[in-house]
């Protein structure tokens, strides 16, 4: 496992580095990436051998609390940052909290502004959820020859702007294969097939927590049922507690503090 100095100079080890991710492009065996928002989720990802996680920039401290080893990419588009300088400031904050890279779906100038500071930045192409109205709804992007050609042009311009990687969401698999073989960007497939350098899926989908499973996702667990049992058990316990309070059964002798009779009598006499 490579040893690095993080952005604050701390001596740490990571599952992968930007250099190894870029150097492993076309290696034949993709890396895996999942979302994480809490220390528990980050710890689970590390324990499972997941190499990379992505989180909101504000969640970096919690994720780092759970794992000091996974490669963390911080999403900086959701922090209220508006200008290029705002985005850069958010990127610095994420790096100081322990992130290894940042991801943004903003304009190329914003990507270039961040990359010019030698901050590893990942772009986002294909279907970008917050821009879904521009596509007419939730759909794959690149399903016509013209649209696929425009998408390829976006990949080239993103690479020229200085990004080292790109999240590729809902791109037809054959289009993704052709683009991946021609771009120098590390490709991260979310619903774009397995012809990519990194395969990405939301942890909530993997673990079976999502209310609605997207078409591109696969559930490997059923945490929704377990969570429902936990909720039911919590409500049952709270009801039982309240019932005992109303019936005078709680607190009982075992749950209260006592005082020696002589000490108590002395207290009462002194009132």
pLDDT at residue 78, as a whole number = 83
Position 38 confidence tier, pLDDT thresholds 50, 70, 90 = very high
Q: Is 133 exposed, middle or buried (0-12, 13-18, 19+ CB in 10 A)?
A: exposed
Nearest to 186 by CA among 165, 202, 210, 172: 165
Confidence category of residue 86, pLDDT binned at 50, 70, 90: very high
Instruction: Output 267 or 26, whichever has higher pLDDT.
Output: 267
Give the DSSP per-residue string, 49-68: T--EEEEEGGGHHHHHHH-S
Annotate 102-116 with DSSP letters as a single string.
EE--S-HHHHHHHHT
pLDDT higher than 90, residue 81: no
Query: Which H or E run contains 188?
Result: strand 186-190
What integer pLDDT is reported at residue 82 of this predicted model? Answer: 86
Q: How confident is the model at residue 258 (pLDDT cuts 50, 70, 90)?
A: very high
Lowest-pLDDT range of 19-28, 175-184, 235-244: 19-28
What is d(CA 244, CA 218) in angstroms, rounded to the nearest whole number?
44
Show the tokens assigned to 250: 């709680």
Question: Please, what is the average pLDDT of the chain?
Answer: 95
pLDDT band at 147 (very low <50, low <70, confident <90, very high): very high
Task: Give the percent of the chain with pLDDT over 90.
Answer: 91
| Rounded distance between C-alpha atoms, residue 71 and residue 152, angstroms | 27
pLDDT of residue 174: 97
Is pLDDT of 270 > 90? yes
The pLDDT of residue 1: 87
**Cis, peptide link before residue 251, omega less than 30° from 0:** yes
For the question of whether the overall pTM of this predicted structure is more than 0.75, the answer is yes
Taken in order 153, 156, 160, 165, is the CA torsion positive or negative? positive
Tell me the DSSP string of 86-147: HHHHHHHHHHHTT-SEEE--S-HHHHHHHHTTT--EEEEEE--GGGHHHHTSS--S--SHHH
Is 41 in a helix, a strand, or coil? helix
Question: What pLDDT does residue 79 have?
Answer: 80
User: Minimal CA–CA distance to 72: which of 115, 21, 109?
Assistant: 21
User: With 90 as the cut, is the pLDDT of residue 126 above it?
Assistant: yes
- For the stretch 187-205, pLDDT in tens is 999 999 999 999 999 999 9
Residues 108, 84 contacting (CB under 8 angstroms):
no
47: tokens are 């324990």
Q: Could you give the maximum distance between any two Cα atoms of the chain, in Å?
A: 95
Q: Is the dihedral of CA 43, 187, 105, 141 positive or negative?
A: negative
The mean per-residue pLDDT over the stretch 168-174 comes to: 97
pLDDT reported for residue 175 = 98
Q: Is 219 exposed, middle or buried (0-12, 13-18, 19+ CB in 10 A)?
A: middle
Averaged pLDDT for residues 70-84: 91
Q: Is the dihedral of CA 17, 90, 34, 50 positive or negative?
A: positive
**Is 90 exceeded by the pLDDT of residue 27?**
no
Q: Which two tokens stand for residue 102?
A: 């940042």
Question: What one-character DSSP code corresponds to residue 34?
Answer: E
């Amino acid at each position: 496992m490579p040893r690095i100095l993080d952005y604050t100079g701390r001596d740490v080890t990571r599952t992968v580095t930007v250099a190894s991710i870029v150097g492993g492009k076309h290696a034949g065996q993709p890396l895996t990436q999942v979302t994480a928002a809490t220390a528990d989720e980050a710890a689970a990802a590390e324990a499972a051998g997941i190499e990379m996680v992505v989180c909101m920039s504000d969640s970096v401290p919690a994720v780092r609390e759970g794992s000091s080893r996974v490669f963390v990419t911080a999403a900086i588009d959701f922090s209220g940052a508006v200008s290029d300088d705002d985005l850069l400031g958010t990127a610095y904050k994420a790096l100081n909290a322990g992130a290894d890279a940042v991801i943004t779906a903003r304009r190329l100038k914003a990507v270039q502004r961040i990359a010019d500071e030698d901050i590893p930045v990942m772009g986002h192409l294909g279907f970008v959820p917050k821009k879904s109205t521009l596509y007419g709804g939730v759909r794959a992007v690149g399903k016509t020859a013209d649209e696929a050609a425009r998408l390829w042009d976006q990949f080239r311009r993103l690479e020229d702007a200085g990004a080292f990687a790109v999240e590729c969401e809902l791109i037809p698999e054959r289009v993704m294969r052709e683009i991946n073989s021609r771009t120098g960007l590390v490709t991260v497939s979310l619903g774009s097939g397995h012809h990519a350098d990194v395969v990405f899926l939301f942890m909530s989908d993997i673990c079976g927590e999502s209310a609605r499973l997207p078409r591109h996702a696969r559930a490997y667990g059923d945490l929704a049922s377990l969570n429902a049992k936990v909720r039911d058990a919590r409500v049952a316990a709270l009801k039982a507690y309240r019932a005992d309070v109303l019936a005078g059964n709680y607190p009982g002798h075992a749950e209260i503090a006592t005082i020696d009779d002589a000490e108590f009598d002395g207290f009462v006499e002194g009132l």
